[in-house]
A and B are shown apart, each in its own frame.
Chain A
């Protein structure tokens, strides 16, 4: 009886997994086949049909010719912008988050619990609430519409999560390790760089993955703070799809959307193993 009910459970479980996978994969399938079809074929309305003459024309268009507002040279400028924004935003945010976590978990200066509490409250306030004051503040120092401006904004909004990740990671380490380094004569920076950072590889990977994908997928902050010249790929994608001149080419829209989501997808595929390992590192250590 137990075996029978267990196998029924497994069947239900597998059915649910397959359903969930279909929910994700069907739209993706439609996007991919549509991006490979000609407009005539798309208009015929056979949404799930395979393309009769697969062509990468729509992809080329999306990358280098499609109109994003006034300019018509595709998404490639946005791709470069997104890279320019994501790389420094990730490096600075992860470094600062690790440093914050180190101080809050191990040095615990007076008031550090209060500070951490405030930071966590910050994580629950919607970004939109802080938008206007932040625009005014950055405007006052002339940083709106510049690379440092958008990087600073991304770093600020990433601090609660980055700090939380590293604080918990370091708090789970035996405090004796930290004490041993102090006895050995290592100071604030030496302990961090020589003892703790080398042990943080899994968490550094997790934090970097979260930050890269977070920054890459951001639309609102990029729209408000990056300015026209530096508009990230997501903003350009929106412009491309909302452009109303000429005929709407659904194939190009699909290709552009896929191109924009390519980086986070690749990051996940390449580092999923690291991601899982980092998330469970605290529990499985030892």
Chain B
């Protein structure tokens, strides 16, 4: 048993609440990603699990044991920090072994674990170097190695890839995913990068302003966002939001707004009253250009290599489409398009909650 349970956790700094009565669970072996904009409290949450941030109320359980009042050292966790936080005066080998030496692990055991971690992370030739003589990617691997030698069942990672350049980030992201599969340990990973969240997570917890917005698999969070915040935070380019109303005719619900009439047969909207103001959310990949019942003028074309981002103007409301086509568009040209309403989401105008 080495899952992590967070129960009713509140963290306040002074009178300012950072996290409010938050409950969340990372099951054993899970890769749980905490995703949110900067300042949403995700790093504070990780710090509270690690024991680095004092908890105002609530409980943290690791492997079923209440560790709320325990020292970070007693929680049997490995942690990787955003700035790597390597000890600058120590060689890679001593960085890796520091936690074991402090705990008076037998010398042979230290040797074995350091060798194993170095082998796994391809650090063996670097063991004699100081952190200053390492590249960013190498430093990051040492930071991961330092957590690994603890042979903890729970690992906490605080934006570990954010200080690396884009190509290295993608490489290390894949390595991390393979590493997680190989270790089978519980991991909590904090990031503001949705690509990292979607590619790595078994489940994503989206946070905003200290409040949990949604917890679910990457697919659930992306396809069925619980509210407008989650819908807008995930996806690039972001989801289109169109304000309008629900109209019922002969038992069929239709969304009208921005000059569009979208039949909603595919969505369950029986609870929504006629004339109710809603926001329709539709992802750019579900706006198909070239044919369909609607038409709008092209405002902007942004080629991205494999795809293009095309911004249309629907009665003043911008509508973004992501499409792989090659047909040239003239500025202001009116083109037909269709919306795949099966993938649309409806949100309450006032609360932003999914309908």
**Chain A residues packing against B (C-beta within 8 Å):** 174, 176-177, 179-187, 190, 194-195, 198-199
If A182-B71, A183-B73 touch, whether A176 touches B85 (CB-CB below 8 Å) is yes
Q: Does the CB pair A180–B81 fall under 8 Å?
A: yes
The interface centre, meaning the residue of B52, B87, B90 with most chain A CB atoms within 10 A of its CB, is B87
The interface centre, meaning the residue of B85, B90, B103 with most chain A CB atoms within 10 A of its CB, is B85
Cα–Cα, bound, A185→B150 (Å): 10
Residues of A within 8 A of B263 (CB): none
The contact sample of 27 A-B pairs, CB cut-off 8 A, is A174-B85, A176-B81, A176-B83, A176-B85, A177-B87, A179-B50, A179-B52, A180-B79, A180-B81, A180-B85, A180-B86, A181-B87, A182-B71, A183-B50, A183-B52, A183-B72, A183-B73, A183-B77, A183-B79, A184-B98, A184-B146, A185-B73, A186-B73, A186-B102, A194-B102, A198-B90, A199-B88
Residues of A within 8 A of B85 (CB): 174, 176-177, 179-180
Known A-B contacts: A179-B72, A181-B98. Give 20 more (CB < 8 A).
Answer: A174-B83, A176-B85, A179-B47, A179-B52, A179-B79, A180-B87, A182-B51, A182-B52, A183-B52, A183-B99, A184-B73, A185-B73, A186-B73, A186-B102, A190-B102, A194-B102, A195-B87, A195-B89, A198-B90, A199-B89
| Beta-carbon contacts under 8 Å, B79-119 to A | 79, 81-83, 85-90, 98-99, 102-103
Cα–Cα, bound, A194→B88 (Å): 11
Closest 3 CB pairs of A and B: A184-B99, A185-B73, A176-B85
Residues of B within 8 A of A177 (CB): 85, 87
Residues of A within 8 A of B87 (CB): 177, 180-181, 195, 199
Cα–Cα, bound, A133→B120 (Å): 65
Residues of A within 8 A of B99 (CB): 183-186
Closest chain B residue to A178, Cβ basis: B85
CB distance from A200 to the nearest CB of B (A): 10
Residues of A within 8 A of B86 (CB): 180
The interface centre, meaning the residue of B47, B52, B90 with most chain A CB atoms within 10 A of its CB, is B52
**Interface residues of A, dominant DSSP:** helix
If A179-B72, A199-B89 touch, whether A186 touches B98 (CB-CB below 8 Å) is yes
Cα–Cα, bound, A187→B52 (Å): 13
Residue in A179, A185, A187 whose CB lies within 8 Å of B81 = A179
Cα–Cα, bound, A164→B47 (Å): 28
1/0 contact string of B42-69 vs chain A (CB within 8 Å): 0000010011100000000000000000
Residue in B47, B51, B52, B89 whose CB lies within 8 Å of A198 = B89
Closest chain A residue to B103, Cβ basis: A185
Residues of B within 8 A of A180 (CB): 79, 81, 85-87, 146
If A174-B83, A190-B102 touch, whether A182 touches B89 (CB-CB below 8 Å) is no
Residues of B within 8 A of A183 (CB): 50, 52, 72-73, 77-79, 99
Cα–Cα, bound, A182→B79 (Å): 10
Q: Does the CB pair B73–A182 fall under 8 Å?
A: yes
Cα–Cα, bound, A180→B82 (Å): 11
Closest chain B residue to A186, Cβ basis: B102
Cα–Cα, bound, A195→B101 (Å): 13
Cα–Cα, bound, A184→B79 (Å): 9
Cα–Cα, bound, A285→B62 (Å): 37
Residues of B within 8 A of A174 (CB): 83, 85
The interface centre, meaning the residue of A179, A194, A195 with most chain B CB atoms within 10 A of its CB, is A179
Cα–Cα, bound, A187→B102 (Å): 9
CB distance from A235 to the nearest CB of B (A): 41
Residues of B within 8 A of A198 (CB): 89-90
Closest chain A residue to B47, Cβ basis: A179
Residues of B within 8 A of A179 (CB): 47, 50, 52, 72, 79, 81, 85
Cα–Cα, bound, A180→B147 (Å): 10
Residues of A within 8 A of B78 (CB): 183
Cα–Cα, bound, A74→B150 (Å): 64
Closest chain B residue to A285, Cβ basis: B88
Q: Does the CB pair B72–A182 fall under 8 Å?
A: yes
If A174-B83, A176-B82, A176-B83 touch, whether A184 touches B89 (CB-CB below 8 Å) is no
Cα–Cα, bound, A185→B50 (Å): 12
Residues of B within 8 A of A181 (CB): 87, 98
Closest chain B residue to A195, Cβ basis: B87
Cα–Cα, bound, A190→B52 (Å): 17
Closest chain A residue to B94, Cβ basis: A194
Closest chain B residue to A182, Cβ basis: B72
CB distance from A77 to the nearest CB of B (A): 42
Residues of A within 8 A of B52 (CB): 179, 182-183
Q: Does the CB pair A184–B102 fall under 8 Å?
A: yes
1/0 contact string of B211-234 vs chain A (CB within 8 Å): 000000000000000000000000
If A199-B88, A199-B89 touch, whether A185 touches B83 (CB-CB below 8 Å) is no
Cα–Cα, bound, A174→B81 (Å): 11
Residues of A within 8 A of B98 (CB): 181, 184, 186, 194
Cα–Cα, bound, A181→B51 (Å): 13
The interface centre, meaning the residue of A176, A181, A190 with most chain B CB atoms within 10 A of its CB, is A176
Closest chain A residue to B104, Cβ basis: A185
Cα–Cα, bound, A8→B12 (Å): 59
Cα–Cα, bound, A177→B79 (Å): 12
Cα–Cα, bound, A181→B83 (Å): 14
CB distance from B130 to the nearest CB of A (A): 12
Residues of A within 8 A of B150 (CB): 184
